Structure 1
Amino acid sequence: MSPIFAQDANVNEGKTLFVGKCQSCHAPDMKSNSTGPALGGVTGRWEDAGKLHEWIRNNQKLIASGYPKAVEVSKISSTAMSTFPDLTDEQINSVLAYIEAKASGALDKDKGNAGAAGGAGAEASSQNNIMYGVVSLILALVALVLIYVNFNLQKAARDAEKVKAAPSLPVYRNKTYLAIAAIVLFIVGGYFTTKGMINVNRQIHYEPEQPIFYSHKVHAGINQINCLYCHGNAWESKTAAIPSVNVCMNCHKTIQKYNGPELKNKEGHVVDGTKEIQKLYDYAGFDPANPDAWDASKAKPIEWVKIHNLPDHVYFNHSQHIRVGNVQCQTCHGEITGMDEVYQFSELSMGWCVNCHRNTKVNFNVDSTGGNQYYSIYEKFHNDIKSGKMDSVTVKDIGGLECQKCHY
């Protein structure tokens, strides 16, 4: 990889940008051709890094200028590349760094190392738990010994002074024992009750059976259909929305048989993809033997079972997160491109959202080349960044933890 792309390149940010902007046309392994060519080694194929940046921002303009490399690349695919005028040089460098790291296999090695480190961390954590358990057991034994010694010393003192001991009471009538038992039960019962109530309605791993077996792995993963093709409302409104039957039929009017990899439901049973397409036709009122006679007005909506549910008093706006905040779908929904039947990946709790707001940086670098112009009103933060008091601004800093932001 050229050094100009390695400097200050954030591979993690590059991955996020690649998934959101590039993966719909370019293969994620960087080695296979898709709608667009394989991207592995792209930095070495362009002698002028500045021209590569121009190509990514507006390839049509560079082609029109007659730049030889741009004209050459434009002939590789019949599909015109999208333009990305909003990307900064740093963001482009991050994307290129991710492409080269992925193509070289460096990320797979890091993943293996991370797995080993994770295993070592888990082993260390297990050892710590054992150590704490042993220490707790020793302290408990010491406490019992001290109680026994204290009891015998008191008995010896009474015998020496010839004081008659009070008659012993059975355990169930001893107020001290009853009080201790009540306190222990209150603490243990309160802990488990609180823990159980906190998880009410979080629905993690909730995976209901749907009327049609729709595989996101096949559609968004293998065929790389952009999420916004079906959930376009997520770009411009509060809700992501469920696509209508007509959207499905845009493709399945011609794709009438399933020829992809074997499908299995969560119980491990094989699913017949072609039969699932026929279910779609039943909802659409479509006869594949007579496609020209299809009357779309007779279609009925598919009764999908909603998976992700928020309390009624919670306000969440998809467009604010996806379009303004550049949050990727996978952040909340998990690796959706690898799921056959979708399940709830994140807990979607208040604490989960608040932690995200505390850690997520906003696109605050407002200048002539980039940044969200809305943030120009935060003069204090700009001054603090210039003076070195702050190095970045998070959602928390711009009011992301205020109650009325999320609650009506």
Structure 2
Amino acid sequence: MIYHRSIVRSFLPGLLLLISFSFANSVLAQDGKALFQQKCASCHAPEKVLIGPALKGADANWEDRAQLHNWVRNSAAVIKSGYPRAVAVFNQFNKIQMTAFPELSDAQIDAIFTYVNNFGAATTPGPGGPAEDPNLKKASDSDNTLLYGILTIILAVIALILLQVNSNLRKLSEEKDGQTIPEPVPFYRNKAYIATAAIILFMIAGWLIFKGAEGLGREKNYQPKQPIFYSHTVHAGVNQISCLYCHGNTMEGKQANIPSVNICMNCHMGITEYTKGPKLYNAEGKEIDGTAEIKKLHEYAGYDPATKKYNGKGKPIEWVRIHNLPDHVYFNHSQHVNAGKVQCQTCHGEIQKMGEVKQFADLSMGWCVNCHRETKVQFADNKFYSIYEKFHEDLKNKKIDSVTVEMIGGTECQKCHY
């Protein structure tokens, strides 16, 4: 028994180290989509050229993948080394220096390229429903959490089996030598086993509690049912209606206003039937009758399309709010859209491809802070930033190649919290 305990004491630290390492890898398992949105989306798109090149297939242009990893972590150093591909990209995009991401590992960088290279893969539509929007597809192919968990369990079981085999062999050897062998303690009464199980359960519970607490108050992917089915795909996508036409005051005020019934009726006094657009489907894949939804609008407006007159019985549409920040958070739409030149899709996703709108980003403090750290301020021809004379001089004298929101105080607590 003494020998058995010595084995447990020798084996326990290694087992705990293995489990800790596996859980650490599970927590840090790469999610290419999340990394792309956090690190790359402000300057890159998978299939479109923005401030930087489209990333889909871009890794195939790098003969040396190690140099690609180095480029992402510190592009200036790779350019200085004279690597041809790095110099070509730098010159092609007006010598704009890419933000350095020294914190990204090789696996994280590869996860990002796995996501963008698989971007746009069509899925088979279900019966009566549309094909899944590839832009909203989960990047599960880059998430190895389940794999790490399975490997951890397998290795733990193998280790316990080997421990038992070792103990039995030792017991047979001692019996052959005529030594008295005490009865073994059942595993459910063995203090070492109990302590190990308690530690493992404590680690799992702590991780689950932390992840649960981290998500409190966040409503990413929240998609309520609205009183009228309104398709942004039809309005903002097919018909190219500007976001600012319906959501007035966005350029000048704090709030992006919800359009009144009168705004809708500017078009739907004349458009009384839905006949020319694509088929409409809700989140469950059920086909929607567009004409019936327009009739709902007329009822809210108190409008009779037959006589083309209002009956005076109109009422506001009780839209369900989707995006809602806590009361202690200050956010000004005009400062971002007007002064910062931020596109609506940065925070709201590709809204022009959404049938029913849902919350695209978690809108957490970390998400906002990362954006401020990485987003470059558009100083050129932007009077809002004319007061930052030192940065203008440094840019002119090429002391710096860009200015991020963080550099002008964008991560100071009082900027967002009263």
Residue 376 of structure 1, CA deviation: 3.2
Residue 189 of structure 1, CA deviation: 1.3
Match 1:329 to one of 344, 351, 362: 344
Aligned equivalents of 2:253 and 2:409: distance in 1? 21
Question: Given residue 402 of structure 2, which amino acid in structure 1 is its aligned partner?
Answer: S
- Counterpart in the other structure of 2:223: 207
Distance 1:252 1:135, change over 3 A: closer
Match 2:328 to one of 313, 328, 334: 313
Q: Normalization by structure 2: what TM-score?
A: 0.60
Query: 1:266 aligned to 2:277?
Result: no
Question: Given residue 194 of structure 2, which amino acid in structure 1 is its aligned partner?
Answer: L
Aligned equivalents of 2:263 and 2:143: distance in 1? 51
The 3-state SS of whatever aligns with 2:346 is helix
- Counterpart in the other structure of 2:387: 376
Query: 1:198 aligned to 2:209?
Result: no
Question: Given residue 375 of structure 2, which amino acid in structure 1 is its aligned partner?
Answer: T
What are the residue-to-residue correspondences of 1:258-297 with 2, within 5 Å? 258-260=274-276, 261-291=278-308, 293-294=309-310
The 3-state SS of whatever aligns with 2:50 is helix
- Counterpart in the other structure of 1:245: 261
The 3-state SS of whatever aligns with 1:242 is coil
**Aligned 8 A contact 1:361 1:392 in 2:** yes
Residue 203 of structure 1, CA deviation: 2.2
Aligned equivalents of 1:117 and 1:214: distance in 2? 26
Distance 1:372 1:154, change over 3 A: farther
The 3-state SS of whatever aligns with 2:321 is coil
Give ranges in structure 2 of 5+ residues lacking alignment. Answer: 1-47, 55-91, 97-112, 122-138
Aligned equivalents of 1:385 and 1:165: distance in 2? 81
Query: 1:12 aligned to 2:23?
Result: no
Match 2:412 to one of 390, 396, 402: 402
Residue 382 of structure 1, CA deviation: 3.8
Question: Given residue 306 of structure 2, which amino acid in structure 1 is its aligned partner?
Answer: A
Residue 129 of structure 1, CA deviation: 9.1
RCO higher in structure (CA 8 A, sep ≥6): 2
Question: Given residue 12 of structure 1, which amino acid in structure 2 is its aligned partner?
Answer: L
**Aligned 8 A contact 1:172 1:178 in 2:** yes
The 3-state SS of whatever aligns with 2:300 is helix
The alignment of Structure 1 onto Structure 2 pairs a total of residues equal to 298
Question: Given residue 388 of structure 2, which amino acid in structure 1 is its aligned partner?
Answer: I
- Counterpart in the other structure of 2:74: none
**Cα root mean square deviation, aligned:** 4.1
- Structure showing greater Rg: 1
Question: Given residue 247 of structure 2, which amino acid in structure 1 is its aligned partner?
Answer: H
Distance 1:139 1:258, change over 3 A: closer
The 3-state SS of whatever aligns with 2:291 is helix
Aligned equivalents of 1:115 and 1:325: distance in 2? 30
Write the deviation string for residues 34-79 of structure 1: whole angstroms up to 9, x where unpaired.
Answer: xxxxxxxxxxxxxxxxxxxxxxxxxxxxxxxxxxxxxxxxxxxxxx
Match 2:395 to one of 364, 378, 385: 385
**Aligned 8 A contact 2:304 2:311 in 1:** no
Distance 1:192 1:136, change over 3 A: closer
Q: Normalization by structure 1: what TM-score?
A: 0.62
Residue 183 of structure 1, CA deviation: 0.8
Aligned equivalents of 2:114 and 2:148: distance in 1? 28
Per residue, is there more helix in 1 or in 2? 1
Match 2:245 to one of 226, 229, 243: 229
Give ranges in structure 1 of 5+ residues lacking alignment. Answer: 1-9, 17-89, 95-110
